[in-house]
Amino acid sequence: MRTKYVVLMCASVLACLAAVGCKKTEDKAKEGEMAAKEPENKTAALTADAAAEAMEHQQPPGLPAPPDVAAPPADATTSASGLASKVIAKGTGTVHPEASDHVKVHYTGWTTDGKMFDSSVMRGEPAKFPLDRVIKGWTEGVQQMVVGEKRRLWIPAALAYGENPNGGAPAGTLVFDVELLDVSKAPTPPVVPTDVKAPPKNAKKTATGLAYRLLSKGTGTKSPLPTDTVEVQYSGWTTDGKMFDSSVTRGEAASFRLNQVIKGWTEGVQLMKSGDKMRFWIPKELAYGDNPRPGAPQGMLVFDVELQSINGQK
């Protein structure tokens, strides 16, 4: 599911971090998507890039398409958004996942002409991801399920990748058979900093305009270089207090090469040592600007960052 939002749409902003000179790649050092890191499994339900890869490398001959792949049958239910679904096998659970929860699923996806484009079943490995980091049809559909349930989803183009997606992702209505294996609650979101609106008087400022404040001191003695790979936990807010990304709520630290993220991160994290927790006020010029690409936050951004390791060393 490549973090960023497809069936992972732009999993997070780190994906944008590297893109603007600024999501999870096979080589973590190549990630640079700090705020946009994605789950380990690359699935069509997760990202357009993943979907494209799956279409290119799908395992022939693939799983046979369901007999009703061309259109929802009469016994399928359709929501106000246009998503159609049908329970194939009832589950044993009683709780429905929320959009912020992390889910573990097995799935297979087809286009309406019966061509399979992706399948965790064929790979022999379930997919895990935050439910609000995938295409809209998955976010809505999986919330209707309980653990153990198998459900078929007919996802209209507007809730998937569209009629003319980029990068080879499947177009039009998509059909998925999904089995919900497990649900885990997302960690509690961090509290919005009281000084999120502007740097306080005790914050320091660099020549570039980056403001920062040490929240807690670590035990490390070395600071990273731009070419180093760092592992961090972080949360980011706009100055109105809205959190736009957080590795904390995803329950997984982010790893990336420091020169592959936005300028404010490259500069700021070099001021840290392993174990340090620091707050940064990154001006728009060192972030995504006033008119960022779709999905990226604009203006000044505030990040709380904990540097956990440098090149694998604590």
Residue 50 is given by DSSP the state H
pLDDT value of residue 29: 34
Per residue in 104-155, pLDDT tens?
999 999 999 999 999 999 999 999 988 988 999 999 999 999 999 999 999 9
- Tell me, yes or no, if 234 is annotated catalytic: no
- Tell me, yes or no, if 129 is annotated catalytic: no
- Tell me, yes or no, if 118 is annotated catalytic: yes
**Every domain range in the chain assigned CATH 3.10.50.40:** 39-184, 204-310
What's the topology of domain 204-310?
A: Chitinase A; domain 3 (3.10.50)
Q: Which residue type occupies 186?
A: A
Q: Choose the catalytic residue: 117, 234, 256, 280.
A: 117
CA–CA separation, 5 vs 134, rounded Å?
6
- Tell me, yes or no, if 176 is annotated catalytic: yes
Output the CA torsion sign for 60, 65, 70, 72: negative
Q: Quick count: other Cβ atoms within 10 Å of Cβ 75? A: 8
Q: Choose the catalytic residue: 49, 129, 132, 161.
A: 161
The answer, yes or no, to whether the previous bond of 61 is cis (omega within 30 of 0) is yes
Angle 268-274-280 from CA coordinates, rounded to 5°? 25
pLDDT value of residue 61: 64
Q: Is 166 exposed, middle or buried (0-12, 13-18, 19+ CB in 10 A)?
A: exposed
Q: Choose the catalytic residue: 5, 107, 212, 234.
A: 107
Q: Choose the catalytic residue: 5, 176, 288, 303.
A: 176
Does the domain at 39-184 match CATH 3.40.720.10? Answer given as: no
Half-sphere exposure of 79 (CA within 13 A, CB side): 18
CA–CA separation, 95 vs 144, rounded Å?
10
- Tell me, yes or no, if 256 is annotated catalytic: no
- Tell me, yes or no, if 155 is annotated catalytic: no
Alpha-carbon dihedral angle through residues 271, 273, 275, 276, given to the nearest 10 degrees: -30
pLDDT value of residue 178: 98
Q: Choose the catalytic residue: 5, 49, 132, 135.
A: 135
Spell out, as residue ranges, where the chain has pLDDT lower than 50. 1-48, 54-60
